[in-house]
Chains A and B, each alone.
Chain A
Amino acid sequence: DAGVIQSPRHEVTEMGQEVTLRCKPISGHDYLFWYRQTMMRGLELLIYFNNNVPIDDSGMPEDRFSAKMPNASFSTLKIQPSEPRDSAVYFCASRPDSGYNEQFFGPGTRLTVL
């Protein structure tokens, strides 16, 4: 298995633009997580899905952020409009419904908003 796949790996955009981050979880995994990491705030959980259904989005910072999981093999995190303070590394992770919380993380997308 290729592991969790994220694209793009790097994204540079200008303030006000729409940004879409993509994630392909490991096949067979029932949970998918989106995290954001910055120097100031560390690694924060934004939202997670179970069987494609959003379970907890309390970490989504504001309405400019939205996440979808249209099927078991694909998820997107969208920021519209983007702002410089959204600059961060965004990680996607997945895990099976195995009874414990071993999450498998992707390589991350480094987002820079100018």
Chain B
Amino acid sequence: DAKTTQPTSMDCAEGRAANLPCNHSTISGNEYVYWYRQIHSQGPQYIIHGLKNNETNEMASLIITEDRKSSTLILPHATLRDTAVYYCIVSDGGTSYGKLTFGQGTILTVHP
């Protein structure tokens, strides 16, 4: 699986958009971009994933650049409960593959 690079930490004011970047310059054509987050003392939680098109769900939006070498996770209106470690993962995780390789992630702190 391709390696990802994320900033170690970021801050965001409550109610503002949080934009978390991720670089994955060695991503291959069949690899998806996944985002998970881990709130303190809990197991990781799936947020969203995408291949090449931008995606949106009830939690977040995922913007993938045209060359697919980087992406941004957007939390449109961050709340204090969004304080967590956010992991960007590249995986060819389709029906035949199960592996997710978690890096160090970005520690997002949302402050009042």
Please give the residue numbers on chain A whose beta carbons come within 8 Å of chain B beta carbons, in ascending order.
Answer: 4, 31, 33, 35, 42-45, 48, 50, 55-56, 91, 93, 95, 97-108
**Contacts of B29-56 to chain A: CB distance below 8 A:** 32, 34, 38, 42-46, 49
Residue numbers in B under 8 Å from A103 (CB-CB): 44, 46, 100
- 14 A-B pairs besides A42-B103, A45-B101, A108-B42 with CB distance below 8 A are A42-B102, A42-B104, A43-B44, A43-B102, A55-B98, A91-B43, A100-B94, A101-B34, A101-B93, A102-B46, A103-B100, A105-B43, A105-B45, A106-B43
Number of interface residues of B (CB under 8 A): 22
Q: Using a CB-CB cutoff of 8 Å, which residues 93-112 of chain B contact chain A?
A: 93-95, 97-104
Is there contact, CB below 8 Å, between A99 and B94? yes
CB distance from A3 to the nearest CB of B (A): 9
A45 and B99 in contact (CB under 8 A), knowing A99-B94, A101-B32, A101-B93?
Answer: yes
Contact A99 B95 (CB under 8 A): yes
Interface class of chain B by DSSP = loop
Separation of A45 and B104 alpha carbons in the complex (Å): 14
Residue contact B44 to A105, C-beta cutoff 8 Å:
yes
Residues of A within 8 A of B34 (CB): 101
In-complex Cβ contact of B98 among A43, A50, A91, A104 (8 A): A50
B32 and A100 form a contact (CB under 8 A) = yes
Known interface pairs A93-B43, A97-B95, A108-B43; A102-B49 also in contact (CB < 8 Å): yes
Q: What residues of chain A lie closer than 8 Å to B102, measured between beta carbons? A: 35, 42-44
Contact A56 B99 (CB under 8 A): yes
How far apart are the CA atoms of A107 and B98 in the complex, in Å? 20
Q: Does B71 contact A (CB under 8 A)?
A: no
Kindly state the separation between the CA atoms of A31 and B93 in the bound complex, as whole angstroms: 12
